[in-house]
């Protein structure tokens, strides 16, 4: 059984941890509001861009001449998986949930006899994936030094993906990230960005007809690379909100658990102290009676 001094030190240590987790919860809550606003503002833009691309696709007269980024290269052999995770931990299951979904897809791709290539964005995802799938990783990105992820970072990832595609390094590209729903719920997502999935968006205003200038092919050649970066940036925004929401929930649970542990340790401390006092009284009384 631990001594009174050990219990006192442990209570003090747990209280210090509780203060840290409470402070981290408050910081995450402050960051969450802005991150959530950014994620919600980014959704309509990325969705509208998808709709424009699909409208342009329907207007193409000769599908054989359509850009490869739109329709793919006609092959289905090599898959590039881009895993977007955080560079920091202490955010519950945020990173592990993305990696779990990615690993399920990895196994499916490998079991079907197809080739797998992986790009990791964020050190936490790299740490989890390299243990089992390290030989498939072709590129690693980390933006630890960046306080806020901007569109410039998304363009870096987008240019790398397009460069690999132009070199015929892969046939399909899938993006993995967490979709922010609320503070408690973040849903891991797998979005195919090359070729563009026609069923991923619903075109509204079907009664309207559009006239494009210049030709649809020219617009798509310029718009499709921007769409890749836009979808990556949307994933960054969703991840940022999901990370803060998950960290806020995790730190709230840690704070409450620390409080429960302090209560249990305090009860044990009081019992041990009472037992020690009782023992000393018995010894005094026994000594007095022996005299």
* Backbone φ and ψ of 50, nearest 5°: -60, -45
User: What is residue 117's three-state secondary structure?
Assistant: strand
Say how far residue 165 (Cα) sits from the centre of its chain: 24
The DSSP H or E segment spanning 81 is: strand 78-84
> Annotated catalytic, 91?
yes
Residues in CB range of 73: below 8 A, 6 or more apart:
168, 171
Long-range contact set of residues 26-31: C-beta below 8 Å, sequence gap at least 24: 28/244, 28/245, 28/247, 28/248, 28/251, 29/244, 29/248, 31/244
Long-range contact set of residues 200-209: C-beta below 8 Å, sequence gap at least 24: 200/50, 201/47, 201/50, 201/51, 201/54, 202/51, 203/51, 203/54, 203/55, 204/51
The DSSP H or E segment spanning 82 is: strand 78-84
How many residues are recorded in the chain?
291
Catalytic site residue from 81, 91, 99, 173 = 91
Angle between helices 216-290 and 4-59 (to 10 degrees): 170
Dist CA 132 CA 142 (whole Å): 20
CA nearest to 61, candidates 215, 239, 243, 222: 215
CA nearest to 245, candidates 126, 97, 133: 97
Dist CA 264 CA 2 (whole Å): 14
The set of catalytic residues is: 91
């Amino acid at each position: 059984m631990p001594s009174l001094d050990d219990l006192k030190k442990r209570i003090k240590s747990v209280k210090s941890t509780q203060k840290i987790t409470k402070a981290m919860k408050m910081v995450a809550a402050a960051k969450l509001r802005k991150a959530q606003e950014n994620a919600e503002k980014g959704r309509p833009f990325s969705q509208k861009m998808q709709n424009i691309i699909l409208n342009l696709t329907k207007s193409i007269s000769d599908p054989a001449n359509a850009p490869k980024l739109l329709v793919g290269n006609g092959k289905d052999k090599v898959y590039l998986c881009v895993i977007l995770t955080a560079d920091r931990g202490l955010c519950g299951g945020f990173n592990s949930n993305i990696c779990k979904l990615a690993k399920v897809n990895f196994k499916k791709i490998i079991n079907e006899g197809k080739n797998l290539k992986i790009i990791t964005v964020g050190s936490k995802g790299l740490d989890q994936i390299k243990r089992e799938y390290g030989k498939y990783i072709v590129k690693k990105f980390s933006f630890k030094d960046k306080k806020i992820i901007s569109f410039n970072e998304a363009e870096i990832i987008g240019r790398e993906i397009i460069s690999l595609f132009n070199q015929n390094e892969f046939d399909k590209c899938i993006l993995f990230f967490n979709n922010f729903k609320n503070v408690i719920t973040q849903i891991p997502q797998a979005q195919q960005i090359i070729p563009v999935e026609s069923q991923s968006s619903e075109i509204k205003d079907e009664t309207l007809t559009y006239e494009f200038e210049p030709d649809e092919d020219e617009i798509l050649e310029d718009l499709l690379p921007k769409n890749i970066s836009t979808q990556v940036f949307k994933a960054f925004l969703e991840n940022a909100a999901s990370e803060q929401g998950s960290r806020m929930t995790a730190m709230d649970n840690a704070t409450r658990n620390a409080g429960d542990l302090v209560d249990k340790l305090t009860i044990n401390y009081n019992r041990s102290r009472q037992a020690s006092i009782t023992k000393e009284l018995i010894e005094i009384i026994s000594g007095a009676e022996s005299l």
